[in-house]
Structure 1
Amino acid sequence: MPTLLVWKGHRFLFYSKEIGEPPHVHVLKDAKQLKVWLRDLGVARNAGFAEHEVNAILKVVAQHRQSFEEAWDDYFGH
C-alpha cells in the first residue's frame, strides 16, 4: 500500500493488489475514503467526503496526476 502523498491529513495511496484496474488513487482521512481515476479525474467511489472536500481533493490529484501515474506504472510495471 504505497503512500504517494500526505496533504492536510489525507493519505493518497494505491493498494498493491489492484492489478488489472485502470490507474487510480485512494484518498483516506479518518473513516472516509475516496477513489479517483487518474486518467479523467473521475470519482469512482466516495465514502464519507462532503462535496467541497471532494473538489479540494480533486484539485490536489490534478496537480500530482503525472507523478501518481508514474508511481503506478513503476509499481505495476506498465
Structure 2
Amino acid sequence: MPVILRVKGYRFWFYEADLDEPPHVHIGREGKEAKCWLSPIKLARAGKFKSVQLREIERIIDDNLKFLLDAWTKEQSKRANG
C-alpha cells in the first residue's frame, strides 16, 4: 500500500488486492479514508470526510488524473509481470 501522492495533507494510494477493480484511489487524512473512482472521477465512499474536503479531494484528483492513472497502470503491470 505505498502512498503514490501527497497533497495538502491528503495521502493517495492503491491496495494491491483492489487492482482487479476499475481504476480508483484511496484517500486518507486525519484517520479518515475515502475511495474515489478515477474514470470518470466519482466518489465511491466518503469515509467521514466533510463535503468541503470531498470537493477538495476531487479537485486534487482532477489536477493529478494523468499521474494517478499512469500509476494505476504501472501497479497493474507490476502485478501481471511479477
TM-score range, shorter chain: over 0.9
In the other structure, the counterpart of 1:62 is 62
Cα deviations across residues 11-63 of structure 1 (Å, max 9, x unaligned)? 01111121310000111011211111000110000111000100011000001
The code of the aligned residue for 2:43 comes to V
- Retained in 2: the 8 A contact 1:41–1:62? yes
In the other structure, the counterpart of 1:36 is 36
Distance 1:70 1:2 in 2: 15
Secondary structure of 2:16's counterpart equals coil
Distance 1:76 1:35 in 2: 18
* Structure possessing the higher radius of gyration over alpha carbons: 2
Unaligned segments of structure 1, at least 5 residues: none
TM-score, length of structure 1 as denominator length: 0.92
% identical aligned pairs: 32
Unaligned segments of structure 2, at least 5 residues: none
Extract structure 1 runs of 4+ deviating beyond 6 A: none
* 1:46 equivalent in alignment to 2:53: no
